[in-house]
Every structure is written in C-alpha cells, then in structure tokens.
Chain A
Amino acid sequence: MTETFAPSRRALMLGSGLLAMPAIGHAQTVTNITAHYSMPAIFKSAQDAILEAFHASQSEVRVSYVNATPTYEDGAQLLLRGAATGQLPDVTFQGLNRMRLFAERGITRDLRPYLADEGNAAELGYSAPILAIGFQGGKQAGLPFAMSNPISYYNVDLFRRAGLNPDAFPTSWDGVIDASRRIRALGGGIEGMFFRWPGDDWMFSALLFGHGGDMLTPDEKDVAFNGPEGLASVRLLDRMVKEGGMPNFAGVADLQAFAAGRLGMMFRTTAQVRGILESVGQTFELRTTIMPVIDPARGRLPTGGAGAMIAARDDARARAAWRFVKFATSPVGTSLMVRNTGYVPTNQIAIDDPKYLGDFYAANPLFQAATRQVGIMKPWYSFPGSNSVRVTQVMVDNLARIAEQQATPEVVLADMADQVRRLLPRA
C-alpha cells in the first residue's frame, strides 16, 4: 500500500511546488510576516478579505495570521507574554484603549517615522482626527483600524404603543428620560431605557465627553472628571435611575431584554448593530440613531474599536509590516472592514468618497448612526501608568453605587476622584 502511495505523494509535492513557482521567482524580495488580531467572531471575515486583497495587490510581502485571540484582553496578554518570551507577531490589532500600554512599555513601534516617509499623511486618508485616535502617550502608537462610537438603539413598536413618535427620537437626555418613563408605564415588565455603564469606563466617558469634560488635566497629573462636567454626568446617570426607572442590568441582561422586546431604548456601541439586528430578527422593528446631544459645541463621544500596531523587532520586517498596516487602513482596506463588520471607516477618503461605501450605507441604514457622529469622536482615554486598567474598574465600581442608589452622585464623584488620584503615577 505504501509503495503505491509514495509516487503519488511525490507528485503532489511536485504539483504544489509548481504552484508556488511564481513566488520562487521573486524569492529574494519576499518578506514573510505574521499578524495577530482579536475577536474572530467579529473580525475574521474582514481580516480574511483584507489579507486576500493585500496579497493580490503586491507580491513582496506575505502575511500569515497567528491564531486569533477571543477578546481584546486575551490579545493584550498574548502580546505581553510574547514580549517576555521574544515571540511577538509583526503586526497586531489591539483594542484602542490598550495601545498606550504597549507604546509605554516599548513593545510596539512609534509609527511617526513611517508616516513621515509617506509624505503627506492626509493624502493617504489619515486626517488629523483619525491620527489623533491612535496618538497616545506622546507617540503614534497605532493607526485606527476599526472605530466605533456609542449610539441609540430603540424599539419602534414600544415607541408607538407608548404614544411616542418613532420618527422623532428624543435629541436630549431630558426627552429620553421622559420617553423612558412613558414606555415603562406600559407595564408588564417592560423597561424604558438602559445606558450601558457597566463593563468599563467607555460609556461613562460618553457622558463626560458629551458635557465637554476630560478624564485628567492636560499634564495628566491630576483628575479632571470631578469638575462641573463630571458632576453633571453622574447626576444624569442618577436621573436615569430615579426618573427614567433604569433597571440595574448585569452582564448581557440588557441585550436579552431588548431582544425580547421588553426594553424601549438602549445606549451602547455601534459595533453590536449586526449582532443585535440578528437577535431581534422579526420580533419588532429596530432602529438606531445618534446619541442625545448634551453640549452641542463642546460635546464629544469616545471612540472604541481596534488599532493596528507594529511589534516587529527586525527593521526589514517592520517595513514589511508597515506596508500591511497601511493597506489595512487604506480606503480599500477600511471599506472591506466596514462591509464585513459594521464599524465606522477609519480612512477619511473612504468616508468622504461615496464610491467606497455609498451603496453599503444606502442598503444598511442602521449602520449610519455611528458615521453621523464621526465628526465629534475623540480618543477613548487610556490612563497613564501601570494602573490604567485598575482605574477603569474603580470607576465602574463607583458607578454601580449610583445604579443601586446606595450613594448620591456627589459622594460617588468625590470617592471616585479620590481613588483614581491615588492610582495615577507619582511624578
């Protein structure tokens, strides 16, 4: 049996060798690099499409993916472990709020020299606000690859039943709280609204930035969220609970209630549009729109999502890695990403020129809400120093006291400022 099998196996190898011939022709110029990303459930089809298009566009750089990590947190750990054992991928896609950590620890490269080599970054579609998203800790830590911002999801059927006009979603939080009360009055366990404050500080920063506030002072030496903007933010959260009757949903309870048609309005990331659309199905009519506006002039919204970073140690590989990063964030790359995920495009050319995504947004109106807020997006603030993740937890723990009505907004804000201050680097 083996005897008869051997020649055919040899033929098979010869065949694959022949298939690889074109690559051998350029053998001296081909650079093989590795890339890593997280959340394959969301990003796999986009990454596969981008890889295929990248390979079709040139033949000097070949990219292969290492195993995708399930969450951003796992992805961060992969990179940190890799830094300790010397097994880093050349390109890595990390959560935007974690890029600073890698830049500060010298694990990834500052991208400014590569951008400088390209000449005018704006001509490549890297507008100033887009670059700012990846500019953290004094470095161009990464380039945004997929961006999200918080949006409003609402149940049109519940709006109608409560006598509200679904074509005129409230544009202020006063209006939202009032609508929440009216939807809740329908009874039968129907809740009016849920603002997704648990998990991390992202949604709290939507309120803070919405008021025009900042997390820290410009020199990053002291907290700044305990000013009037911060106080207004925690008071607003308190009103959502007191006046809007907002329930204290844990985990994915809000998604479950919403999908079951028992939650009127939900405020969370646009990244979930696709998933929520699937879980809602035909249960009711789902719509999305922009977040209620707090301060029309100074108000901003935080940016979630992933950024591309270069972790290659070797300079030649880093140059090859840059070519892939540049492609993944190009108008073509970002269009592939948007079509396959539902995030906001990260290239100004793809945003401005309808030839890239015009047809997609016309066919998928639910994805439009986030793009309408692109102009007011601001980086998801990541705290300096080694306590950056712990700061996030401190904020969530304190906000829980408002959600459970265990403390007044004033007390919570003071405690939060006090605890966060102690976690900032002492310089």
Chain B
Amino acid sequence: MSERAGFGEALAGWLLTGPAILAYLAMLLIPTLAVVVLAFTDFELGMPGFHWVGLDNFSELLTDHGMRTSVRNTALYVALVTPASILAGLGLALLIEAGSRGKVFFRAVFFLPVVSLMVAMATAWQYLLHPTIGPVNAWLALFGIAGPNWLGSSDWVLVSLGLIGVWENAGFNMVLVLAGLTAIPRELYAAAEVDGAAGPWARFRLVTWPLLGPTMLLVTTITTIRAIRTFDSIATLTQGGPNKASEMIVWTIYQEGFSYLRMGYAAALTVVFLVVVLAIMLVQTRLIEKRTHYS
C-alpha cells in the first residue's frame, strides 16, 4: 500500500518536473553536448560534411594571436567593470535605503539601464561619446579638458566600453543589494547602538557589511559572469575595433563561428570558455562561502 503511494508520488514528481527536464535537455544539455562534439571537428557552416580533427582546434587556440588579445582585453574589462559596478551598486543601494524621499523614483532611474536594450542604446552612446559633437566631450571642454576619442581610439575604447558596462550593471546590483538590505533585522542595528556602535561607518562595518555577505557573493558572481560574456556593446558600438583593441572572448567566438564560418573552431573556443567560467565560479564560491556562513 505505502509502496504504491510512494510510486504514485514519484510518478507525479516526474510528471511535474517533466516539462522542465525536457526543456533543460532540449534547450541546454543537448546543444551544449553538440558544441563539445563540434569542437573536435573542422565543420564549416555551409560545407557539406566535416572531418574529425582531434585536438587540432585546441592546439590552434594556444597559438592564436587574436585569441590572446581577446583574453587580455576580457580580463582587463572584467577587472574594471566588476569591482566598479559592485561598488556603484552598493553605494546606490545604501544611499537610496538611507534616503527618506524619492526611493521609488531613484530605484527606477538607476534600474532603467538594465531593462533598456543595448542595441537601441548604442546610437545614443555613440552620440554621447562622439569625439566632436558629443555632449560628454562638450561638457569636458567646459573645464578646459580636451576629451578623448572614446570609441575610436585604441587606448580609450576598452575604458569607454567599461564605463558603459558599469552603467549597465550598477542598477542590477543595486536592486540585489537593496533586497539584501531589507533582510537585515532592524534589532541588530539597535543592539549595535546599545553596544556603542554609533556612527554610520561603524554601523556599516559591524552590521550591514557582514550580513550582506551572501548577497555580495551572489552579486560578485553574477557581475563577473555578466562582464565576461559582454557582447552586445561590442557588436553594436565597436565590432572589436580599432585594430582588435576592444576584441573580447564572446565577440571572437561569434566572429569565428558566424562571420568566418569556422563552427568547429568556434565550438572549441566555447568549450574552453565554458570550462574557464565554471572554474572561476567554483573558486569564487568556495572561497567566499567560507566567510559568509554564520550559522
């Protein structure tokens, strides 16, 4: 009797999770496996067949100059965008939380970049950062500063894309931190005050920051991933130029696969990319998790 009930329950469980499992298999797992298989071939889009080439794609990757530039640019971009947008998100959240008026308004304003489409915003950015008619350089000129050629100079293009990246990510982080802030029990602040933590800095250091730990872990992980996989700002604003100065990994993969039609090589790049991202996430989670559990 109880066995049959258990079976029924298991069946119901499978039935209920069925659609999700199917979707996961069809949309994620099988395509990912297909990419792994493709990585060992010389498949080109539009060619009738393909050959198995073993590890050729991976060994080419090691000597590929373009890929090296791309990895370096991505690393620089992540190193700039991740901390800056986390700090910006945290700062905005604290300011909004501490403020008494216009909370909803500011929340909406800073969240706007997240819901706006980069493809649509590209024209606006191109105009704002225009070397001669752009408002940003016009504003800098008021202070006697000759603004750079933001998107056209190979020295500045990564910084410009980074600033746009911070603008895109800060609002998202702000919302996550705001959620984390509301979960902090009010009594802890009262208790801290009784114990002598009077100033705002002491309150932040002793209560807010430690209790935000799990939130900050999530924010760091998400921001890192979002920064690594940056694609649309490059595709719409710079196409990796000038002279590969804004070439980043996902753009390179796209170029190899869809412009140069080398699906096999692009698949190999994707596999390596996937492994590296997973490794970063794992290390990050392990390292920080140790310091964020208080139970």
Residues of A within 8 A of B (CB): 73, 77, 79-81, 83-84, 101-102, 105-107, 189-191, 198, 247-253, 256-257, 260, 262, 386-387, 389-390, 393, 396-398, 400-401, 403-404, 406
Contacts and interface: CB of A to CB of B under 8 A. Distances in A.
Contacts of B149: 247-248, 250
Contacts of A84: 45-46
Given A251-B151, A398-B243, A400-B242, A256 B259 contact: no
B56 interface: no
A253 B243 contact: no
A80 B152 contact: no
A257 B133 contact: yes
Interface residues of B, number: 32
A162 B127 CA distance: 26
Contacts, number: 98
Interface in B105-148: 122-123, 126-127, 130-133
Contacts of A389: 259-261
Contacts of B259: 73, 389-390, 393
Given A247-B149, A248-B242, A257 B258 contact: no
B151 A189 contact: no
A250 B153 CA distance: 9
B45 to A, nearest CB: 4
A257 B243 CA distance: 22
Contact of A253 (B48, B131, B241, B244): B131
A403 B152 CA distance: 10
A252 B134 CA distance: 13
Contact of A256 (B127, B153, B157): B127
A195 to B, nearest CB: 14
Q: Which of B47, B255, B262 has the most CB of A within 10 A?
A: B47
A253 B123 contact: no
Nearest to A260: B133
B130 A256 contact: yes
18 contacts: A77-B45, A77-B258, A79-B46, A101-B46, A106-B48, A247-B131, A248-B153, A250-B149, A250-B241, A251-B238, A251-B239, A253-B130, A253-B131, A256-B127, A389-B260, A390-B259, A396-B241, A404-B153
B150 to A, nearest CB: 9
A105 B242 contact: no
A195 B130 CA distance: 17
A390 B47 CA distance: 17
A189 B238 contact: no
A189 B133 contact: yes
Nearest to A401: B243
